[in-house]
Amino acid sequence: MLVKFFFMLREAGLKVTLPEFLTLLDALDAGLAGYSVEEFYYLSRSALVKDETKFDRFDQVFGAHFQGAETLFGEHLDEIPEEWLRRQVELGLSEEEKARIEALGGWDKLMETLRQRLKEQKERHEGGNKWIGTGGTSPFGAYGYNPEGVRIGQQGSRHRRAVKVWDKREFRNLDDSLELGTRNMKVALRRLRKFARQGADYELDLDDTIRSTARNAGMLDIKMVPERHNSVKVLLFLDVGGSMEDHVRVCEELFSAARSEFKQLEYFYFHNCVYEGLWKDNRRRYNQRMPTLDVIHRYSADYKLIFVGDATMSPYEISYPGGSVEHLNEEPGAVWMKRLLNTYPKSVWLNPEPVQRWDYTPSIQMLRELMDQRMFPLTVSGLEEGMRKLL
């Protein structure tokens, strides 16, 4: 039973490990869960899930597993009267769609397939494209989008049980917080650390102490130095809008990782390609632009420049004056890119597009050439490679 539960959790994408599972079994051996399901739920959650954003997913699996266990005691779905199903279908389908049911071999065939699958399936199910459940593309289930679909459940729940803790799913809105997965990125960004000593004297400087003690004819002369800090300065240019919408999430992760890793981080937004203006606040991008020249003058050449963008656009946006999709640019994007690259010799471009597609997009190739091939995929390994180039 529990082994199955363990694998269900792993299938649901929870990173439950064997030692954790063994810990849970130890705890059960020690009689910690007593005989109540609720206590078992709390115990297993605290032993197996270490991230509150995953509680929701755990609740779903727990609910599914235990409802599965309950259905073993005689609550089979295949008791649903056929008339009821038929009525649901008639309510839910237009004439045209009903005609399309014929595509599956007609009503009888559909019902037979349904019956057969009900027999094969013993548990609540969500997602996927075969089993009966919610949110999938199988013809059977609820909230799906197969036009030939048969709605099951959802309406009047036949067995309305008391709401259980895990079915309340209190942690729903915590799921998918931004912090997710930033740890890997932070570790990759750490490569770009350059320590320098600044601030108050804090640590013993052993070498200097020995030297001055020796000079002092053996009388101790203690020397202190300030602690080391990461002194790397980073300019981050982020592409926003348009085709970048697909990559918002990974960019947000990168941004939040970079923010906590670098004390001296300046960021600016651009769209598709860099031109004469950049902005810091997307809501005020039209009236609060900062001239790119000012950026170049303000931040010294020892800043490391990181572009983040998919570099996917029309080649004209890079090579021709007036090529920008948003405004009339007097100079082509390539000129501005060259200006920036001349000012900041240490620079890379991080591209969230998969590497396989790079060769098929002319604008990516152009920017890669401009960047002297210093374009890297926005993955943890790409990030590490890029950081090495920046050092």
Partner 1 sequence: MQKGRFEGTERYIATKDLMAAVNAGVTLGRPILIKGEPGTGKTQLAEEVALSLGLPLHQWHIKSTTKAQQGLYEYDAVARLRDSQLGKERVHDIANYIVKGALWEAFDSEVKPVLLIDEIDKADIEFPNDLLRELDRMEFFVYETRELVKATHRPIIIITSNNEKELPDAFLRRCFFHYIQFPDAATMSSIVEVHHPGLKKQLLSEALNAFYQLRDTPGLKKKPSTSELLDWIKLLLAEDVPVEALRGGDSRKALPPFYGALLKNEQDVHLFEQLIFLNRRDAR
Q: Which of 39, 51, 44, 46 is nearest to 13 (CA)?
A: 51
Cβ contact 317:323 at 8 Å: yes
- Candidates 8, 47, 150, 188; binder of partner 1 (CB under 8 A) is 47
- Residue 150 is classified by DSSP as B
In this chain, which stretch among 125-133, 146-154, 177-185, 243-251 interacts with partner 1, using CB under 8 A? 177-185
Q: How many CB atoms lie within 10 A of CB 209?
A: 16
- What tokens were used for 338? 């060259």
Asked if 390 interacts with partner 1 (CB under 8 A), we say no
Kindly tell me which of 102 and 179 has the beta carbon lying closer to partner 1. Answer: 179
- Rounded to the nearest whole angstrom, what is the least distance from the CB of residue 220 to partner 1 in the complex? 5
Per rule CB under 8 A, count of chain residues that contact partner 1: 35
- Rounded to the nearest whole angstrom, what is the least distance from the CB of residue 86 to partner 1 in the complex? 44
Asked if 62 interacts with partner 1 (CB under 8 A), we say no
The residue written with tokens 């990125």 in the block is 185
Asked if 201 interacts with partner 1 (CB under 8 A), we say no
- Candidates 70, 78, 170, 246; binder of partner 1 (CB under 8 A) is 170
Distance CA 259, CA 24 (A): 37
- Candidates 1, 91, 162, 219; binder of partner 1 (CB under 8 A) is 219
Kindly tell me which of 171 and 269 has the beta carbon lying closer to partner 1. Answer: 171
Alpha helices in the chain (DSSP H): 2-11, 18-29, 37-48, 55-71, 82-92, 95-101, 106-120, 165-168, 182-189, 206-215, 248-261, 292-298, 316-319, 333-343, 362-370, 380-390
Cβ contact 72:129 at 8 Å: no
Cβ contact 126:136 at 8 Å: yes
Kindly tell me which of 222 and 301 has the beta carbon lying closer to partner 1. Answer: 222
Distance CA 311, CA 368 (A): 9
- Candidates 2, 4, 7, 52; binder of partner 1 (CB under 8 A) is 52
Asked if 60 interacts with partner 1 (CB under 8 A), we say no
Q: Which of residues 1-30 bind partner 1 (CB under 8 A)?
A: 15, 17, 19-20, 23, 26-27, 30
Which parts of this chain interact with partner 1 (CB under 8 A)?
15, 17, 19-20, 23, 26-27, 30, 32, 38-39, 42-43, 45-47, 49-52, 55, 170-171, 179, 182-183, 186-187, 190, 204, 219-220, 222, 227, 260
